[in-house]
Amino acid sequence: MNYSYKTFFQNLYRQQGQRYAFCARDEKEAAGWQREFRAALEEKLGIRLLREIQTKPGRDGSGSFRCETALLEEVQEDGYRRRKYVMNTLPEVYMPFYMLIPDGTEEETLARAMIAVPAHGANKNTVCRVGETPEERAKIQAAPAECYGREFVKRGYVVFCPDPPGYGERTEPIPREDPGFLTGKKKNSLESSCKDLAQTAEALGLSLTGLEVWDLMRLLDFACQSPEVRKEDGCALIGCAGFSGGGQYAMWLAALDERIRMAVVSGYVHGYYDSMLECHLCPCNYAPNLWRLGDISDICSLIAPRPLFVENGTRDVENGPCGIDGPKKQVEKIRQAYALFGAQEKLYHFTPEGEHRWYGGCYAFAEQYLAGTDSGYKI
């Protein structure tokens, strides 16, 4: 006798199908599919509702909400300046972030930019190699490669690195029920509040995915207006990159906001079937019925024909039960979209031997495609 729901869930997933599974036959169909799919995702994630909240006049008759940014500190590091800002992205919602500026970035020598998104178990400090707590210093020492924000600025990029909702300084207060069941629980600077935020957002008709993407879009607004960032044909040369949960939100930002010129998704591309039914990733990966719209390969296909670098370790447990074959199948589906746009060379799948970690295979790819050229990438 089987008392598990697993088989029921598996059959439900297989039988329902996905409304926006990619099946375009030419570039025109693919472009139309992208417009429709983006609109459906914005509705599902609650981003349309957030836009309404932003534009709605205040109860006191005041004008609609406006994002404002304040500089909190500036520190000279070895080869770059580190500025800390705070931005209010929604009424009573504040996002701290770092801006790293290479020395010598002047009006005549503007730099390309990268939005670096932290993973679970990390925050803006560790990604930018700022160890303010014992946990952060231990993380930096144990996984120096995951300081990819600092690596990008050392390579000459202006870097924008936020604490997403529930990370770092934005970790939510411990829920009232936790002390009753988890005696002695204390906050850790590397913990995240994804589960609590996801549950509350869902109850209010939103999603944590929508909230995170909204914040990143507002950070992108700021980055595009920054005088230190290089422009080409009036558009800022900005990419985004992230590992694991950070890779997830780099994917979402690039998929939903075409101002992103290229994306690096490390340790994340797999299929929803495996992630929901086998790996059981954090609730921040989902929204109610999101899987009915499309798979992760479909979301990534919204990035086409802009450059996309995908990285999966061959032994990454989050690849799913089929191992590296799971991500490979997703990338092959993404490749179909890139082929219709004639941009096959702008999609690269790097599969180094190893576990779930940031490998940093993307730096030459980013150098190629944020240089304002369209030549192919060779590794």
Q: What residues have CB less than 8 Å from 284, skipping those under 6 apart? A: 166, 194, 195, 197, 198, 208, 209, 212, 245, 248
For residues 251-261, average pLDDT? 98
Task: State the pLDDT at residue 79.
Answer: 96
For residues 222-227, average pLDDT? 95
- 227 pLDDT exceeds 90? yes
Q: What is the DSSP letter of 192?
A: -
* DSSP bridge partners of 101: 81
Q: Is residue 5 part of a domain?
A: no
Q: Is residue 7 part of a domain?
A: no
Q: Is residue 194 part of a domain?
A: yes
Give the torsion sign (CA, 269, 221, 167, 124).
positive
Radius of gyration of the chain (CA): 20
Q: What residues have CB less than 8 Å from 64, skipping those under 6 apart? A: 54, 55, 56, 57, 58
Provide the pLDDT confidence category of residue 376 given band limits of 50, 70 and 90: very low
Q: Is residue 302 part of a domain?
A: yes
Q: CB–CB of 279/155 below 8 Å?
A: no
Q: Is residue 16 part of a domain?
A: no
Which tens digits make up the pLDDT trace of 27-69? 999 999 999 999 999 999 999 999 988 887 655 555 667 889 9
Domain limits for position 332: 22-369
Strands 68-77 and 80-90: antiparallel
Which tens digits make up the pLDDT trace of 286-310? 888 888 999 999 999 999 999 999 9
Q: What is the DSSP letter of 359?
A: -
Percent of the chain with pLDDT over 90: 70
Provide the pLDDT confidence category of residue 119 given band limits of 50, 70 and 90: very high
* DSSP bridge partners of 262: 239
Q: Is residue 244 part of a domain?
A: yes
**Least confident span in 140-149, 204-213, 276-285:** 276-285
pTM across the whole model = 0.93
Task: State the pLDDT at residue 257.
Answer: 98
Q: CB–CB of 62/136 below 8 Å?
A: no
Helix pair angle (27-45, 325-340), 10° resolution = 120
Q: Is residue 285 part of a domain?
A: yes
Provide the pLDDT confidence category of residue 17 given band limits of 50, 70 and 90: confident
- Rounded to whole angstroms, how far apart are CA atoms 46 and 171? 21
114 is written with which tokens? 């990268």
Other CB atoms within 10 A of residue 341 CB = 18
- Rounded to whole angstroms, how far apart are CA atoms 348 and 325? 16
Q: CB–CB of 83/160 below 8 Å?
A: no
- 379 pLDDT exceeds 50? no
Q: How many domains does the chain have?
A: 1
The CATH number given to whatever domain includes residue 227 is 3.40.50.1820
Other CB atoms within 10 A of residue 41 CB = 24
**What is the torsion angle, in degrees rounded to the nearest 10, for the CA atoms of residue 209, residue 210, residue 213 and residue 218?**
-150
Q: Is residue 104 part of a domain?
A: yes
